Amino acid sequence: MSKKYRVGILGATGTVGQRFIQLLADHPQFEIACLAASDRSAGKAFVEACPWKLATPMPEKVKEIMVQPIEPPLDCDLVFSSLPSNVARQTEEAFARAGYPVISNSSSFRMDEDVPLLIPEINHDHLGLLEVQKLKRGFNKGFIVTNPNCAVISFAPPLAAMHEKFGVESVIIATYQAISGAGYPGVASLDITDNVMPYIAGEEPKVEIEAQKILGKFTGQEIEKADFIVSAQCFRVNVIDGHTVSARVKLRETSTLEEVTEAITNYPRLDLQSSPENFMVVREEPDRPQPRMDRDTGKGMTITVGRLFPDNIFDYRFVSLSHNTIRGAAGAAVLNAELLISKGLI
C-alpha cells in the first residue's frame, strides 16, 4: 500500500468544501488531515461548524476534526482551496509561499499568466508553467494550480475536441446554472421558485475568457491563448446541481456532423483515479442532456453533450452539461491533484 497524501481543505464548510470532503473521504491517494474555515467556524468541531447540505451523510471521520483558521502552517502535504474570491488571492499565495501545493477552485489566480488553468484531459502540458511560476514568484516547494469556472467546464471539453480538429472561431453561449453554484445560503428561494434569474454577478466575464486559456498552447514559457471569441449570457435556473449550456460554434474549417461527433466521442481520456470511463458522451436522444438525469454520469465527472446539430448561422449547435460542484469544482480540483501526483509534481 502506498502512502496517502495528507490534505488540508481551505473553506471546508462551504458547498464546495463539503464536496471535497465527500470525494476525499474514501480516496485511495488522499487522507483528510486539516479542515480550515473562517474565523466564525475555527475552533469548533467540524460537525458543529458546518451546515452540511449534501444528500450523503457527513463522513464520520471528519465530524470531530477541529476547524482551524485559514492560514499556514497546516499539518498537511497539500491544500485544496475553495475560498471566496475576496480572500483567495492573498491566502492561496501565502500557502504556496509557505511551501504547500495549492490546488484551487477559486477564480483569483485562474487568469494569471504563470498559473495553469487545468482540465487534465485537455491541457495537462500546461503544468510546465509551474517552473515559470516558481521562478517568477520565488516559490520554493509550493505552487498554485487552478480549475475552470463551473459553467466553462460544461462547454470547454466539446469545444476542445472541435478546436483541435477544425479550429474554433466564435462561440455563443447561454447558460442554465444550478443553485448549488452560489453556495449556501446562496440563492434565496423567493428569487428562484417559479422564476429564472438572468444575472449571476461576475459570471459572464469569467465565462468569456477562460476557455481561450484552457485551449491555449504552452510554448515552454507561456500560454498562447486560443484565438476564438466567446459570448456568454448566464442565467440561474431552479435546478439543484448541474450546469447546462446552450452553444453555437463557428469553426475555421469545414467538417461533417459525423466528424464533429467523432471528435467529441473519441477525445482521449486520462487514466487517473477520478477519471470517468468517458470524458464526454454524446447523447442521441432528442431530450438529453437533462441535469437531473445526466449530472451524475461518471460519478459527476463526465460531460454530457446532446442536441448536436448543424446550425443555420454558425456551424454547429449543441447542449452540454456537467455537474457543477463535482466536475465543475471539487472533482476538478481532486483530478488536478491526481494529475500532479502522476506527473511526480507532488
Which residues contact its own copies (rule: CB under 8 A)? 15, 53, 55-57, 170, 172, 174, 176, 179-180, 184-199, 201, 208, 229-231, 233, 235, 237-240, 244, 246, 248, 286-293, 295-297, 306-307, 311-314, 317, 319
Reference 250, options 308, 320, 163, 154; nearest CA is 163
Shortest Cβ distance from residue 298 to its own copies (Å)?
A: 10
Shortest Cβ distance from residue 288 to its own copies (Å)?
A: 7
Backbone angles phi, psi at 58, to 5 degrees: -60, 130
Shortest Cβ distance from residue 70 to its own copies (Å)?
A: 23
Taking CA atoms, 300 is separated from 238, 288, 291, 324, 330, in Å, by 19, 16, 11, 8, 10
User: Is 146 or 212 the residue whose CB approaches its own copies more closely?
Assistant: 212
User: Is 94 or 174 the residue whose CB approaches its own copies more closely?
Assistant: 174
Q: Which of 124, 126, 163, 243 is catalytic?
A: 243
User: Is 69 or 205 the residue whose CB approaches its own copies more closely?
Assistant: 205
Contact residues for 35 (Cβ-Cβ < 8 A; gap 6+): 8, 9, 12, 13, 17, 21, 46, 62, 65, 67, 68
User: Is 193 or 254 the residue whose CB approaches its own copies more closely?
Assistant: 193
Q: Which of 76, 150, 163, 323 is catalytic?
A: 150
Cell of 64: 470531530
DSSP-derived secondary structure letter, 198: -
What amino acid occupies position 15? Answer: T
Shortest Cβ distance from residue 15 to its own copies (Å)?
A: 8
Shortest Cβ distance from residue 145 to its own copies (Å)?
A: 28
Question: Distance between CA atoms of 246 and 306, rounded to whole angstroms?
Answer: 10
Bridge partners of 306, per DSSP, are 319
User: Is 45 or 346 the residue whose CB approaches its own copies more closely?
Assistant: 45
CA atoms within 13 A on the CB side of 118: 28
User: Is 208 or 262 the residue whose CB approaches its own copies more closely?
Assistant: 208
Taking CA atoms, 182 is separated from 88, 114, 131, in Å, by 16, 28, 34
Shortest Cβ distance from residue 344 to its own copies (Å)?
A: 36
User: Does residue 50 carry a catalytic annotation?
Assistant: no
Question: Distance between CA atoms of 302 and 132, rounded to whole angstroms?
Answer: 31
User: Does residue 150 carry a catalytic annotation?
Assistant: yes
Classify the phi-psi angles of 201: left when phi > 0, otherwise alpha if psi is within -120 to 50, otherwise beta.
beta
Active-site residue set? 150, 243
